[in-house]
Amino acid sequence: MKLLLIGAGGGLGRALLQHYLEYCDEIHAISRRSRPLSLPAQVHWHELEGELDDYQQLCLRWSEAGEKFDGVISTIGWLHQGDWQPERRIEALNQEQLQSYFNVNAIMPIMLLQAIKPLLPKKKPCFVVQLGAKVGSISDNQLGGWYGYRASKAALNMLFKTAAIEFKRTHKQLSLAVIHPGTTDSDLSEPFQQRIEPGKLYTAEQSAARIASVIEQLKPASSGGFWFWDGTALPY
């Protein structure tokens, strides 16, 4: 299998890279972080600034070279940075933070899918997976708060569902999916870990294995689905 892993330098990205070494003949790993000192020969590391143009240009070069990928996994997303924390009350909302949530959590993933489309085979099974969040479920929202993160993840679900309907006409064996990995011990969850129930915080290795297990179960008939880490469907 030939895999494209976007966001390979984060905690979960590194765990996914390690997991798929056993199953892939070739892995292209994209990250804003420097290349690890030691990587197997099958891994090609691409260090980018993280701007959308960088990803698009790389995909364009691959497309012109006739590259195809059997699978794509993207870990792109953000919850907090600097002074910006999830908004618990409407008074905490500000336009700049909301725009950043939507840009990284929804707009960038769907624009990456646009760039990746020429790299997907049309006549054999393949998958594109974007990591999402259970809090992006509108019908499951019983607690409120986290306005921008919730809304941007809900938008991500709609964008991938819409794309899946279109891609069924051209890529009949493609499975598109948004997967909630569970609360993983990473930089993203670190400020909130004290509130997590015992046994509900998972290592990056556990989450990577679970994501891979869900991917194995994906079918083109359910393309566009929103999945929990245990393989059950989440409500939109």
Are 159 and 178 spatial neighbours (Cβ–Cβ below 8 Å)?
Answer: no
Q: Number of helices (H) and strands (E), helices first, in the chain? A: 6, 7
User: What length does the chain have?
Assistant: 236
Q: Is 196's pLDDT higher than 90?
A: no
Residue 135 banded pLDDT, cuts 50, 70, 90? very high
Overall average pLDDT of the 179-207 stretch: 71
Q: Where are the alpha helices (DSSP H) in the chain?
A: 11-20, 52-64, 95-102, 108-116, 147-167, 204-217
Using CA atoms, how far apart are residues 236 and 234, in angstroms rounded to an integer? 7
Are 150 and 197 spatial neighbours (Cβ–Cβ below 8 Å)?
Answer: no
pLDDT in tens, 20-62: 999 999 999 999 999 988 899 999 999 999 899 999 999 999 9
Token output for 167? 């891609």
Query: Amino acid letter at 84?
Result: W
Are 12 and 28 spatial neighbours (Cβ–Cβ below 8 Å)?
Answer: no
pLDDT in tens, 137-170: 999 999 999 999 999 999 999 999 999 999 999 9
* CATH number 3.40.50.720 is the correct assignment for the domain at 2-227: yes
